[in-house]
């Protein structure tokens, strides 16, 4: 049995990871500020829980005896950074804290990054592309990836930065308006409201189910490799495609509401080149878009009934 630290373990992706780690017989320590999470998501896991930010946990010194670190506890949506630029410092400080822990403990660090780094680049998106940050969120993620490489070069820290594409699935309800579009569309239809779409709905996303993301994180932890890895499916679907699937699954004819896109630097297409992750990590997404939406819908119908 291994002991893992999961920062952000009471959030969306983190809580799904905690459940899987516990299911596999591991001990889990969760650190979470509960900004977009809840202890309810992991209440039945037996995980040890600390309600604080990552840098506070580091200063507390309660991190001995850890065999690996999953760092998901960071502001995870571009609008958060536009609304409060200090989120950049919060994100970088948290990453510095886990890098210091990984250095002192000599353990592997697997940290969340984002496909938003590819904004402005032609798909399919590869890890070796030259990144040109377009907002505060992507700038923070790029700094964190570079810091990990510096820690590797100076101190031998082992790390993997996972560039998540458009992650959706169960346990995202506490992210509210920061949640993935699939979840938001489902929630709108559950309230018999028209989902809101910017533009004409032709924009495309590489939607990846959260169970596949959890699998990628664990594979990265167990591989003796460093560097950046895409976590996507290698397939891209338009928002109109997603709406059609959700409407069919929910038996509704309610059409979405289309409005002019108000977001500057809006990403029109994301599509992961998954060849590196497949070759180096052995990762390949298993869930197709129809099955993932069905599982997500069933979760919310069972857990968010009004």
Using CA atoms, how far apart are residues 123 and 185, in angstroms rounded to an integer? 25
**Peptide linkage before 124 cis (omega within 30 of 0):** yes
The sign of the dihedral angle between the CA atoms of 227, 119, 215, 30 is positive
The residue with tokens 């699998």 is: 215
The Cα–Cα gap between 300 and 306 comes to: 11
Q: Report the candidate in 38, 16, 163, 151 with the shortest Cα–Cα distance to residue 97.
A: 151
DSSP string, 52-70: S-HHHHHHHT--TT-SEEE
* 3-state class (DSSP) for residue 214: helix
Three-state DSSP at 197 gives strand
- DSSP per residue over 182-203, as a string? HHHHHHHHHTT-PPEEETTS--
Q: How far apart are alpha carbons 7 and 247 in whole angstroms?
A: 35
Contact 78, 35 (CB under 8 A): no
Alpha-carbon torsion (78, 83, 89, 94), positive or negative: negative
Q: Which residues are catalytic?
A: 137
| Closest to 249 measured CA to CA, from 210, 204, 201, 298 | 298
């Amino acid at each position: 049995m291994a002991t893992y630290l999961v920062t952000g373990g009471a959030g969306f992706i983190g809580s799904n990871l905690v459940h899987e780690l516990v299911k596999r017989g591991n001990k889990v320590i969760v650190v979470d500020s509960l900004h977009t999470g809840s202890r309810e998501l992991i209440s039945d896991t037996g995980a040890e829980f600390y309600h604080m930010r990552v840098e506070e946990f580091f200063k507390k010194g309660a991190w001995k005896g850890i065999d690996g670190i999953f760092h998901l506890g960071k502001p995870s949506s571009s609008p958060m950074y536009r609304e409060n630029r200090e989120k950049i410092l919060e994100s970088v400080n948290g990453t510095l804290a886990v890098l210091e822990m990984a250095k002192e403990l000599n353990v592997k660090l697997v940290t969340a990054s984002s496909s938003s780094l590819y904004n402005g680049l032609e798909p399919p998106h590869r890890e070796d592309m030259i990144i040109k940050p377009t907002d505060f969120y992507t700038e923070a993620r790029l700094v964190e990836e570079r810091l990990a490489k510096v820690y590797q070069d100076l101190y031998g820290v082992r790390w993997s930065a996972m560039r998540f594409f458009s992650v959706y699935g169960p346990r995202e309800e506490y992210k509210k308006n920061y949640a993935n579009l699939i979840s938001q569309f489902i929630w709108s239809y559950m309230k018999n409201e028209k989902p809101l779409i910017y533009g004409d709905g032709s924009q495309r996303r590489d939607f990846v189910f959260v169970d596949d993301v959890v699998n990628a994180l664990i594979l990265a932890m167990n591989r003796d490799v460093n560097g950046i890895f895409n976590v996507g499916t290698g397939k891209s679907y338009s928002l109109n495609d997603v709406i059609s699937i959700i409407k069919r699954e929910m038996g509704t004819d309610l059409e979405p509401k289309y409005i002019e896109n108000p977001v500057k630097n809006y990403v029109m297409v994301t599509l992961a080149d998954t060849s590196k992750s497949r070759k180096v990590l052995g990762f390949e997404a298993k869930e197709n878009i129809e099955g993932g939406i069905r599982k997500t819908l069933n979760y919310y119908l069972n857990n968010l009934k009004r």
